[in-house]
Structure formats: structure tokens, C-alpha cells
Chains A and B, each alone.
Chain A
Amino acid sequence: MSINLTLIGQAISFTIFVWFCMRFIWPPVINALEARKKRIADGLADADAAKTERERAEQEAQQTTGQAREEASRILAQAERRAGEIVAEARTTAKTEGERILTQAQEEIDKNTQQVREQLRGEVAALAVAGAEAVLRREVDAKAHAEALDQLAERL
């Protein structure tokens, strides 16, 4: 139980162990702890930033979708209107064309009728002259009665 050299021996070994601890144990462990703390803090900050960014992106996407929808309906409406216009235009054109064709046909018909009428009139006049010749059989001067015959033909 006496105090002896052990006192000094223990003081020396204590010093050496403390020195070793201070030199080789404490700094690496505490540095690693600090680094990890920082890394975790950074990670959390990153996660927060990512969350904000995601929210922003979502909002933006929503906005874009809304815009696209609006644009689509606008284009659709425009197309419908345009289609209506085209149909109406076509209808007008067709109507005009039809009328034109109709008129042309009518004219043709009229012209033919006229022609046929002229022809018939000539033929009827000749027949009438022939008939009258046959009836009178006598001195019927074609030249003298031509005026009367022409008048007759005119009336037909």
C-alpha cells in the first residue's frame, strides 16, 4: 500500500496513452463524425430542395396541360367553323353551277325548239301549198300567192 515508483510509472503510461489518444484516436473519429453530420445535413437540405423543385414542376406541368387543353379546344372550334364555312361555300358554288347548267340546258332546249319549229313551219307551209295546189289544181300562181303563203307560214 506504500507509495513507490508505480506512481511515476503510471504517470508516464498515462501521458503516453493520452498522447496516443490525442494524436491517433480522437481526430479521425471526431472528423468522421463531423463529416457525416455535414453530409446528413446536406442530404436533408437537398431533399428539401428537391421537394420544392418537384412541387414547382408539378405546378408547371399542370399549367402546361391546361394551356394545351385550351389550345386544343380553340383549334377544334376553329376547325369546326372553317368546315362549316367550306361546306357553305361548296353549297353556294354547287348551287350557282347548277343554275348555270340549268340555264344553259334551257337555252339549248329553246334553241332546238326554235329550230324544230322553223323546220316544221317550212314543212307545214310546203304541205299547205301542196294541199292548196291539189285543191285548186288550176291557175294558181305560186308567185302571186307567195305573199299570202308567207303570211300563213308566219302565223304558224
Chain B
Amino acid sequence: MATEYASGAEYIKHHLTNLTFGQHPDGSWGFAHTREQVDAMGFWAIHVDSMAWAIGLGLVFVGLFGYAARRATEDVPGGFQNAIEQLVEFIDGTVRDSFSHRNRMVAPLALCSFIWIFLMNLMDLVPVDWVPWAFSLIGVHYMKIVPTTDPNVTMGMSLSIFALVLYYSLRRKGIGGFLGELTLHPFSAKNPFLKVLLIPINLFLEGVALLAKPVSHGLRLFGNLYAGEMIFILIALLPLYAQWTLSVPWAIFHVLVILLQAFIFMVLTVVYLNMAHDTGEH
């Protein structure tokens, strides 16, 4: 498939471009047909492929689990039911281990993050050319099917979680407690004058630590999946007879990566929310 493109670089660039709908610089709305148009759109654009695949896979998650939930009884479960319950129990156990407060929202949030991200990551194992090629037949030029290789998607989730972290921090600790946490640690002093002097330093350190959380949370997932996708694309540039020697081992290894990254994202979500709930002064 790679031979259709003028150069390897163009092939890669094509495969890393989202199907974008947005406002052109001249004010009109429409799909971008070239990479330059995408760049020119700026913020007022939306990656239709990322959103569609993300929502589609979210609906798969909701459908499967909703179906299992609707049929959930205390009687002997069937195979499918059992699989879903195993997953729910696994998430429940993980949340119980790392979240020590009472919040009805955290466990469902963790379940939703884990399964949804896993499904989105799973799209990475679909051979890189199949879906874009199929869409090119119906005239769609760009199609990125792995939503988690789009930083907008991963950051959208990590920032939602950051908003929750801020909300629960303020609610549990109050505005004073939260500000105290940001300004009176890690350096503290008995002397009031010294204390005031240390506030900017503490605020800088804690502020960076606070803001680094959502950024690293989202970019870790994005980076891992983007790198994985990139390697698949590079492998696809090899001659056809040689591709499998690299793509098969990488795909097998990638099975671990997609599972692990989904799990890490979920665990960090729970840990951050747990920290937001911690009011005990150290």
C-alpha cells in the first residue's frame, strides 16, 4: 500500500493526519483536504475520525457492559456474564486497594477508563492500512482509527480527571486547606516571616507537581500509543515479504503495551482522586 505514495515520508505524514472538520481561515466550515489546511484551522477544528471511533468504541463498551448489567442476577452466571463480572470485580479490587475513601463515582470511573481506553488501544492492532484504504474507496482521505494516538483524546480524559481532582480537593479540604497544601509544603518553618518567604517557593514546586499530573497522565498514554502506531507505520514501509518478521513480534509485544497503558491510566486516575480526598495533615 505504501507504494501508492510518492515517498515514505508522505506515507507517514498521511497516516498521522486526522480527518479534520473545522473552520478554514477564510471563515467557512468544512473538511480539511491537506495537512496544511489542517494546520491552518487551529483550535476551531475537530478530529472527526478520533471522535467517531472513540464514541463508537465507547458505545461498544456501554453496550457490552450494559447488556451484562441488565441481565445481572445472583444466579449462576453464563460465560459472557462471568467474563464481565470478572472484569468488574478486578476493577473493584484495584479501586479498593488504592482508594481509601467513600465515593460512588470512582469505581465506575475506573471501569469506564480501563475498558474504554483498552478498546481504543486495541484498534492499534488492526493493520495500519486496512481501514484507511477502505475509507479511501468511499472518498475519505484521512482516517486514524486509534483515538488514543490523538493527544486531544488522551488529554481530554486526563483534564476531565484533573477537573475532578480539583473539585474534590476543594470540596474535601476547603479553599484554605487546598491553598495551604500548595503553599506550606514541602518547606515549612515555625517563624512566620520565614513561612511567608517560603510561600512562593512552595507554590512553584507544588504548582508544577499539580499541573504535571494531568499532563503526564494524558501524554503517557498518548506517547506510548503514538510510538506504537509509528512503528507499525514504519514496518508497513518495508517490502511486503519482510513485514511480518517485524510486525508480528511488535504486535505481540504491543498486546502487553495496550493493556498495560490502559491499566496504568486507570490506576493513576484512582491514585490522583485518592490524593484529592486525602485531608489528613502529614
- Determine if A33 and B88 form an interchain contact, defined as CB atoms under 8 angstroms apart: yes
* Residue on B nearest A22 in the bound complex, by CB: B108
The total of Cβ contacts below 8 Å across the A-B interface reads 133
Interface SS of B by simple majority: helix
> A21-B65, A24-B66, A29-B88 are known contacts. Are A9 and B46 too (CB-CB below 8 A)?
yes
CB A24 to nearest CB in B, in angstroms, measures 6
- Determine if A21 and B108 form an interchain contact, defined as CB atoms under 8 angstroms apart: yes
Residues of B within 8 A of A4 (CB): 20, 22, 41-47, 152
Interface residues on A, range: 20 to 34
Complexed CA–CA distance, A142 and B45 (Å): 188
CB B95 to nearest CB in A, in angstroms, measures 11
Say which one of B48-56, B167-175, B197-205 lies at the interface with A. B48-56
Residues of B within 8 A of A1 (CB): 16, 151
> A17-B61, A21-B109 are known contacts. Are A6 and B74 too (CB-CB below 8 A)?
no
Q: Is B156 an interface residue (CB 8 A)?
A: yes
Q: Is B206 an interface residue (CB 8 A)?
A: no
CB B90 to nearest CB in A, in angstroms, measures 12
Q: Is B240 an interface residue (CB 8 A)?
A: no
A sample of 18 more A-B contacts (CB under 8 A), given A10-B51, A17-B112, is A2-B42, A4-B22, A4-B152, A6-B46, A7-B156, A14-B156, A14-B157, A18-B108, A21-B109, A22-B105, A24-B66, A26-B107, A29-B69, A31-B72, A32-B85, A33-B72, A33-B89, A36-B74
